[in-house]
Structure 1
Amino acid sequence: MATEIEELVPDIGDFSGVEVIEVLVSEGDSVQKEDSLVTLESDKATMEIPAAHAGVVKSVKVKVGDTIGEGDLLLTLEVDQEQEQAGVDPAVAPEAPRAEVADVPEVARAPSAPTVDTAGAPAVERLPGDKVQRHPPVRQAESDLPRGVPHASPSIRSFARELGVDLALVTGTGRKGRITRPDVQNYIKQVLQGDRSTPTAATAAALPAVPEIDFSQFGEVDIQPLNRIKRISGKHLTACWLNIPHVTQFDEADITGLEAFRQEQKAEAAAQDIKLTFMPFLMKACVACLQAMPVFNSSLSPDQQQLIYKRFYHIGVAVDTPDGLVVPVIRDVERKSIFELAADLAEVSARARQGKLTPADLQGGCFSISSLGGIGGTGFTPIVNAPEVAILGVSRAAMKPVWNGRKFKPRLMLPLSLSYDHRVIDGAQAARFTQMLATLLADIRRLLL
């Protein structure tokens, strides 16, 4: 005997008002447990909601463009009662959805102004899963500006604050005049095109427009759409670069002894099915520096008038995946051993490359590390992953002759590149940080002191 079951949105972390960008089933479809029902896109991740039950779709309650949250009704399923009695519990919520990307950390998700169709330009065909761009009307007179409290969610208010946008100047195109993310983005686009005279952070930047060039006039071209990870992370990186006054401190660390010690421990790690890389040692050394210099473990308040000092040490580690860069967060680094960190890194890196990270994997970072040592290079300028205030880049270690006061000796030197937010950290603090880090890496036993 069949019974009708409601499929609800499960726990999706600190997300509310998440937009539906794809509905993957329709009425009459048969679905199995864990089959994807809809795709949601938040500020930081795209996630698929799996079915908690197997059955036949009776009715779909959401459509593309809807915004939903935990507990909202997605659809109803006709489920075979005998299967339910055999062990399928209708009250069991589905697993946390899998996320394709991360960008980054909670506060810093301010994208750059998006590309929108200009007047007279042909409409670009929307790819599956892409958001529909809305174009609010451009008001020409101050008398046309809305009054009262703007109708917007907390995440949109935070987004607007980061870009310096007064929501009172933005026309909402959502339900009942609600201001959406595309509304804020389109407002910034109009400001940069000269359609607004109201001074904001966007106008203060006075960014010149990049000229549009038809490259086909020079030869054959092939146009490929950016994947979703690159689109979302690109917006975040642009916002970080435009909003943070970056400075990068370069230094070197002698890791000759540490590398010898790591090689000695590889066999013991392998016996526990652990691949021992250099990264866990670097993470522990960074946490020691963060504990000694708490300003590097802080974030600016939304009004930029206070510093928020964090008493936890979660480190984001950039992972190169086939679809682009993601930054999963390893939590409580100060409490874990080198082998525990190595195991955590291997597990989260594997899930990142398989596209199986959850939103929780991408949140709560205090400090980020980007390592290009496995590829090459002698230095680079990593972009601070706001709302963090610093990020460490490491390049490939190389043997160099180092003067010890009597003679030159070959030493394995690791290039360090520390980018930081100059509003929070000054140059002397950055130099002390890299010097302390180099000292710890030169003799890892100092971590025990």
Structure 2
Amino acid sequence: MIKEVKLPEVSENIEHGDVIKVLVSVGDEISIDQPLIELETDKALFEVPSTEEGVVKEISVKEGDVINIGSVILKVETNSKEIKEQTSDKKEQTADNYVNKESVEINNDKESKSSEKIELKKPENENAQNIKSKNISVTDTESELADNENVKASGAHDKILAPASPSVRRLARELGVEISSVSGSGKDGRISEDDVKSFVKASMNKSGSSTLTLSGKSLPDFSKWGEVRIEPMSKIRAVTAEAMSYSWTAPMVTQFDKADITLAEDFRKKYSEFVKSNGGNLTVTSMLVKICTEALKKFPQFNSSIDLNKKEIIYKNYFNVGIAVDTERGLLVPVVRNTDKKNILEISAELNVLAEKARSKKIMPDEMDGGNFTISNLGGIGGTAFTPIVYSPQVAILGVSRASKEAVYINDNFIPRIMLPLSLTYDHRIIDGADAARFLRWICEALENPMYLLL
């Protein structure tokens, strides 16, 4: 039997990606979860595993192709009934690699039918890695969504819904854009995320905004002065550049302070072996994740986002902390979720897993979504201070530089202490300087009393 292996939904906000490398050839015998291609999206570079087992008969993509969710990657021959039976359970379990949400809801604005709702329930064991997919494929969901996008909405006005995926509609809502006002550039007027972003930029330009864009100024011909080399920007680098340019439009201030981590370092050394035996590394970063979570509880304005269009402040009652990870492809920011419900041991182990996945191209886009606050630690490289840029729509980011021994004047004596430089950048539209100073000082004092982490 010939079966198609398609690109599954990897994240709510991802519709397509670039094929960087094809990892198999026609005639190869492949197994469940074997990597087939390297795919680069706006958020990550990762390997797409197979959901079938058999012999590759045809490869439908090549390096450089842009493929959409649901596109056929390759076709495999699975003639063996025995193989089919053995791999049936495995195929169900691979759904967790692609679907990182508890339910997929197909709604037609306010009207929905029970037949349009599909639930993918997680197992009772929270530590389990795999979930049952109920034999419902993500591509089936995409197809059903596409069928429902152009139907009439019931109600007083009977207007036609704009053809756009749920992720595009969500982006439009977050940016305060009426989706029906956006012209789609896709087939049959389908609206993409780029269409929404272009609409926002055009609206800002019309309103006299002075926001600079990356393409706003032509560069000189550098080859007049010597030899040059031109390389296209990777998707990750291009998206980072665009996001940082957008973030820079917010008025940002950086507050500096130092924490005496002498006791924290003793604490780290004392418990490092215990944490390591449980799969983690006890580091300043893992301690800061827990400390910053408590700080966000005490200073909720740092765990918020601002909506200028509606003149509203959105306070979040959950705690997800992003950790900037340096990779050969650029900066990635995996997110540790629900940090208020995890102890330092669990956080340390999860950080290990996320960092390794980011560096080995295993990180999925969903694992970098939903952060409320970010920590960027450059201490391993060096430096005494820096000014990190807030990642919008977050409103603050903590920068960590290299710790060093300093002579500190205590009780009429100079005593050697290990001092850690911290840099807090914040959005001044929502956070005042005095509150930022209190927030950062609270973090410093918590670091200086590490036994607090055990409470």
Pair in the same fold by TM > 0.5: yes
Match of 1:68 in 2: 69
Aligned counterpart, 1:437: 443
> For residue 14 of structure 1, what is the aligned residue in structure 2?
12
Is contact 1:299-1:309 (8 Å) kept? yes
Map 1:144-293 → 2, pairs under 5 A: 151-157=163-169, 159=171, 171-184=183-196, 199-200=206-207, 203-205=209-211, 209-242=216-249, 244-272=250-278, 274-293=280-299
User: Secondary structure at the residue paired with 1:285?
Assistant: helix
Letter in 1 for 2:191: I
Q: What's the counterpart of residue 119 of structure 2?
A: none
CA contact (8 A) 1:266 1:276 kept: yes
Q: Name whichever of 300-309 and 23-32 sits farther off.
A: 23-32
Q: Distance in 2 between matches of 1:91 and 1:61?
A: 24
2:406 alignment counterpart: 400
C-alpha displacement of 1:29? 5.9
Aligned counterparts of 2:383 and 2:403: Cα–Cα separation in 1: 9
Corresponding letter in the other structure for 1:32: I
Cα distance, 1:349 vs structure 2? 1.2
Question: Residues 297, 39 of structure 1: CA spacing in aligned structure 2 closer, same or farther, 3 A cutoff?
Answer: same
Q: Secondary structure at the match of 2:78?
A: strand
1:352-411: per-residue Cα shift (whole Å, max 9, x none)?
111111123212222110001111111111111222211100111122222235233222
- How far apart are the structure 2 equivalents of 1:182 and 1:271? 46
TM-superposed CA distance for 1:262, in Å, is: 1.6
- Of 264-273 and 320-329, deviating more is 264-273
- What secondary structure, in the 3-state scheme, does the structure 1 residue paired with 2:419 have? strand
For structure 1, list consecutive stretches of 5 or more residues without a partner in the other structure: 100-146
- Relative contact order, higher structure (CA 8 A, sep 6+): 1
Q: CA deviation at 1:149?
A: 7.2
The answer to whether structure 1 residue 314 and structure 2 residue 315 are counterparts is no
Show CA shifts across 1:284-330 (max 9, x none). 21111111112212223584533332222221111111221111112
Aligned residues of 1:269 and 1:276 also touching (Cα < 8 A) = yes
* Contact 2:259/2:420 (<8 A) preserved: yes
Does the CA contact (< 8 Å) of 1:7 and 1:77 recur in 2?
yes
Map of 2:50 onto structure 1: 51
What is the rounded CA distance, in whole Å, between the counterparts of 2:247 and 2:260 in structure 1?
Answer: 31
Q: What CA RMSD, in Å, does the superposition of the two structures yield over aligned residues? A: 3.8
Q: Is the 8 A contact 2:13 2:167 kept in 1?
A: no
Deviations 1:261-299 (A, max 9, x none): 222323444555643222222222111111111221222
- For the 8 Å contact 1:274–1:342, the answer to whether it is kept is yes
Give % identity.
37
Aligned-residue offset at 1:255? 1.1
Indicate conservation of the 8 Å contact 2:39/2:47, yes or no: yes
Q: Do the aligned partners of 1:98 and 1:357 also contact (CA within 8 Å) in 2?
A: no
> Which residue is equivalent to 1:144?
none
Cα distance in 2 for partners of 1:273, 1:415 equals 28
Paired residue secondary structure (2:287): helix
After superposition, the C-alpha distances for 1:109-142 in whole angstroms (9 at most, x for unaligned) are xxxxxxxxxxxxxxxxxxxxxxxxxxxxxxxxxx
Cα distance, 1:47 vs structure 2: 4.8
TM-score by length of 2: 0.73
Task: Label 1:197 to 1:331 Cα distance change in 2 as closer, same or farther (>3 A).
Answer: closer
- 1:162, CA displacement in angstroms? 6.6
Find the counterpart in structure 2 of residue 32 from structure 1.
30
| Conserved 8 A contact 1:15-1:42 | no
Q: Which of 363, 370, 391 lines up with 1:364 in the alignment?
A: 370
Measure, in 2, the Cα distance between the counterparts of 1:76 and 1:271: 43
How many Å separate the matches in 1 of 2:409 and 2:231?
51
